[in-house]
Amino acid sequence: MANLLGREAILTSKVPTREVEIPEWDGVALIRSPSTLTRMKIVEGFNERDAAEEAYKADQAKPVEEREGLPAVTVLDTSVVSVMFAIIDENLQPIFGWDDYDKFLELSYPTIQYIYKQMIQLEARLPVPVEEQKKSSGTARKGASSSASRSR
């Protein structure tokens, strides 16, 4: 029979994290799956963006002289947002927020996608593929992990 978890065991369980070596950034980022609180912040941000987009469209539908001059709203990239909130500090707290979104858009998209894929593997509890480990083992700096990432 499986071990039945109690309240304390569940509420004090360790958060799954993974160190991801990112040669383009010359370092390692610590990532985690989003907590429920972080997920709520993400949803709230998407909702606010949707409301701003609707307000912009409504404003644009008015005659020119009646418009409020609301700024156009760009579409959010889900993978960029996910990565932005997945990168955490040593206290397991996200180090980026909505104010960083436009700066993230200027980063290398393949790098964002690489981190996103690592996040998906972490969320699915998938082991790091051997190819990924081999690929990064030659690029590890002194004192760095020899694998692309590792679960904690």
Q: How do the pLDDT tens digits run along the chain, 152 residues long?
A: 788 999 999 999 888 899 999 999 999 999 998 888 889 999 999 999 999 999 999 999 999 999 999 999 988 999 999 999 999 999 999 999 999 999 999 999 999 999 999 999 888 865 666 565 555 444 444 444 444 444 44
For the chain, domains (ranges, CATH) are: 18-151 (3.30.2220.20)
Q: Which of 148, 5, 17 is nearest to 89 (CA)?
A: 17
Q: State the Cα–Cα distance between residues 150 and 121, nearest whole angstrom.
A: 11
Q: What pTM, to 2 d.p., does this model score?
A: 0.71
Q: State the Cα–Cα distance between residues 32 and 59, nearest whole angstrom.
A: 39
Q: State the Cα–Cα distance between residues 139 and 57, nearest whole angstrom.
A: 49
